[in-house]
Amino acid sequence: GNSVTQMEGPVTLSEEAFLTINCTYTATGYPSLFWYVQYPGEGLQLLLKATKADDKGSNKGFEATYRKETTSFHLEKGSVQVSDSAVYFCALSAANTGNQFYFGTGTSLTVIP
Amino acid sequence: GAGVSQSPSNKVTEKGKDVELRCDPISGHTALYWYRQSLGQGLEFLIYFQGNSAPDKSGLPSDRFSAERTGGSVSTLTIQRTQQEDSAVYLCASSLTGATEAFFGQGTRLTVV
């Protein structure tokens, strides 16, 4: 079946550090891949997405590339800010399962000044 | 509406009581999801509605949980004989048909005392 596995947190980084949050997936066919972010006290919101292999999603300085050969969609940012402190969720949606969304367990990021 | 609306935003109930949580999806969205997020935990899938198809109820934790979606729009999640372990934030999301973005509501924080 379809599933998403992301690195466990919590992750603590200093401001301006490089961020990588790993995400791998299992799916039949060609899913779309997503990163969602949940800021403290807020709801989940879409951060970026990629719908086919080799696509790169990007937003707010974050990037993730859809790698079919490694079934991965790792989230990266070159220089994190305190305001990036949040919980990040990797997710996939696949046509073979009615486009239902499958979410990873979430990775908590804290950026310290 | 402008976004996914959930009500109430907060609910405190006594153990053993029944509760109903409501979700108004974005107009025209055919897919609707319920998730549960316990304190400091990831998203736990509960149920998925897609158009007129039979819902995927595989995530409901017990037969005390049920959900319906009337007229392909509003959804109600019902928890009977609530237990303390039911305390969590219940999130609703909706999306258009296809592997498109899922939009989340702000959630209902349920506290069972």
Q: Residues of A with CB below 8 A from B31's CB? A: 98-100
**What is the C-alpha separation between B43 and A65, in angstroms, rounded?**
23
Look at strands B108-112 and B10-13 and give their pairing. parallel
Residue of B42, B50, B107 lying closest to A106 (CB–CB): B42
> Is A44–B91 a contact, with Cβ atoms under 8 angstroms apart?
yes
Q: Residues of B with CB below 8 A from A106's CB? A: 41-43
> Is B43–A103 a contact, with Cβ atoms under 8 angstroms apart?
yes
pLDDT tens string, chain B, 113 residues long: the values are: 579 999 999 999 999 999 999 999 999 898 999 999 987 677 888 999 988 888 999 999 999 999 999 887 999 999 999 999 999 999 999 988 766 788 999 999 999 99
- Asked if pLDDT for residue A113 goes beyond 90, the answer is yes
Residue of A51, A89, A101 lying closest to B33 (CB–CB): A101
Q: How far is B95 from chain A (nearest CA, A)?
A: 9
Taking only the tens place, the pLDDT of each residue in A31-90 is 999 999 999 888 899 999 999 999 999 999 999 999 999 999 999 999 999 999 999 999
